Structure 1
């Protein structure tokens, strides 16, 4: 029997098995001597982790190592923490001797920025802040921030303006700011996959906000990842079969600044607008960070532009849900 679909959700989860060990379906409450479970929070979301192993003590150590790795990466990337390296960079505009992971994720971001013609850009944070401030002000105009405010924010946006090296990261102006919310969950997923593989895990589905499969499922069939309706996350619209691949979904319905939903968290860093071209975009790729970044950017691009990007990328595919419920795969 093929493993049952995992839905896209705010819950972060890992269900992992050592080579030769069968996986329980994610969310099962069945108890086995080989299962070690942890629950808590990670990357601003509820999290759970289940490790199955022939040696329970080793499973416990693997759980502890995985949680420790997630916590370490949170201290670098999280905007939810006042003491993270990213928060410090945004606060003081520069960072000396930055963590190598921060340099690496910015380089990956730069690659995604170039691939998408600037549609993916972590320097979009000033625009996000402008929308948040506007719609949290009593009596704010339903039309959103003024054109003047948007234009001013755009002067602080542009990944190409950041100086980034192993020795120093510097933002272009004192009011510039970065958000890694469009790539960090994928990056953390990739790092957890590296840790699990190094520990002998050969069958796993890792979800740190984005999903990535290690090998096939326990029965040697592909993992099945369910893509949910962005307006009803309990309803699965499409099931993708993956093996050693990552899956990421982004949608303008994920977070909306206004009650009517005209202004979403997916902001175009080139114009400052929040267009709703698609209901959702799901990307399948070898790396979760790449899938994460592309799924965000593709929400700001038309189908033809998406196809043009993917033509030069082997092993990457996109599944685009239109507002009238139709799918286009590229």
Structure 2
């Protein structure tokens, strides 16, 4: 998540507008290359950007409108911050009959990542979020966080194995359970936009719908580039060709001033990630990079190696517990 609770990455786009700590590295196409057509707006609370190379600017703009409309449609299913979404209805009632197929598909991805990470990625941690949010909603809240008993009650309501879903119905095993898709939905929407662009024949694009994924090279022939804010004077630059990248950082949202209580929760304990923890993952798809960058924060070196080995084409490119 980022400062708006859903802005999670600490990535600066070097080939597109938007993002935090923008570090341009020469974004203009070379003479003779196709012009870039672009859109910048808001998706799932994030400043988002799509840039693509298209020989016909008018047709390129029309394609962008289709892609953005699809992102908006998916947001109306996955968002936690709108009361009228399918996810919000599920969390209110504990059951959703005839759910949108996209929601079921995303839950299958959540299940896959839960298994890949041995439970470190768990979309059912929303009760823990509510516990922290309720605790810090009062002016004299203990900065150490919720009382142990309250936190234990929230952890008891967490557990991916208690989420039942198929194309006909989604339900929770226990009253009070709830889901958050903030650790994977932005990546999923990014992937869906990529699918739309590819289907239209696009061979050069950079999409950032909260997470980043590219098609091919930049139109001038070089790789698309992103710069990751490492918290040091020297940023890390990545070349991306048909790859996705995501960074999860504990300082994206803080309940307290020092960041001890933040938006990243260990599903087994309810405790938050260290205030300076962050992970950056490159993967074939944005949803995978999104989920892994979240889960790896709570995994030791051996568990991290096992998880990455289970998903071909993934790699951890930055791990930091420093400012």
When normalised by structure 1's length, the TM-score is: 0.85
Partner of 2:27: 25
Q: Which one of 238, 241, 244 corresponds to residue 242 of structure 2?
A: 244
Partner of 2:255: 257
Per-residue CA deviations over 1:274-296 (Å, capped at 9, x if unaligned) read: 13286311111111101100000
Matches of 2:312 and 2:17, distance apart in 1: 24
Of the structure 1 ranges 34-43 and 106-115, higher mean CA displacement relative to structure 2 is found in: 34-43
Q: Which one of 9, 14, 18 corresponds to residue 5 of structure 1?
A: 14
Please tell me whether the aligned partners of residues 132 and 145 of structure 2 are also in contact (alpha carbons under 8 angstroms): yes
Shift of 1:133: 1.2
Per-residue CA deviations over 1:65-95 (Å, capped at 9, x if unaligned) read: 0111011001110112111111111111111
Shift of 1:204: 0.7
Please tell me whether the aligned partners of residues 126 and 156 of structure 1 are also in contact (alpha carbons under 8 angstroms): yes
Does residue 55 of the first structure (1) align with residue 56 of the second (2)? yes
Partner of 1:290: 288
Matches of 2:304 and 2:18, distance apart in 1: 24
Shift of 1:8: 11
Shift of 1:10: 4.8
With over 3 angstroms needed to count, the CA separation of the structure-2 counterparts of 1:242 and 1:51, relative to structure 1, is closer
Shift of 1:53: 2.3
Q: SS at the partner of 2:170?
A: strand
With over 3 angstroms needed to count, the CA separation of the structure-2 counterparts of 1:168 and 1:8, relative to structure 1, is farther
Partner of 2:9: none
Of the structure 1 ranges 217-226 and 295-304, higher mean CA displacement relative to structure 2 is found in: 217-226
Please tell me whether the aligned partners of residues 33 and 56 of structure 1 are also in contact (alpha carbons under 8 angstroms): no
Shift of 1:246: 0.6
Per-residue CA deviations over 1:134-189 (Å, capped at 9, x if unaligned) read: 11211111211011011111111111111100000002223111100000000000
Partner of 1:141: 142
Of the structure 1 ranges 301-310 and 206-215, higher mean CA displacement relative to structure 2 is found in: 301-310
Per-residue CA deviations over 1:167-218 (Å, capped at 9, x if unaligned) read: 0000222311110000000000000000000111101111111111111222
Please tell me whether the aligned partners of residues 283 and 314 of structure 2 are also in contact (alpha carbons under 8 angstroms): yes
Partner of 1:178: 179
With over 3 angstroms needed to count, the CA separation of the structure-2 counterparts of 1:6 and 1:133, relative to structure 1, is farther
Please tell me whether the aligned partners of residues 8 and 226 of structure 1 are also in contact (alpha carbons under 8 angstroms): no
Q: SS at the partner of 2:61?
A: helix
With over 3 angstroms needed to count, the CA separation of the structure-2 counterparts of 1:277 and 1:82, relative to structure 1, is closer
Shift of 1:7: 8.6
Structure 1 or 2: more strand by fraction? 1
Matches of 2:241 and 2:37, distance apart in 1: 24
Aligned CA RMSD, in angstroms, stands at: 2.6
When normalised by structure 2's length, the TM-score is: 0.87
Matches of 1:8 and 1:268, distance apart in 2: 33
Partner of 2:312: 314
Q: Report the number of matched residues.
A: 304
Q: SS at the partner of 1:122?
A: coil
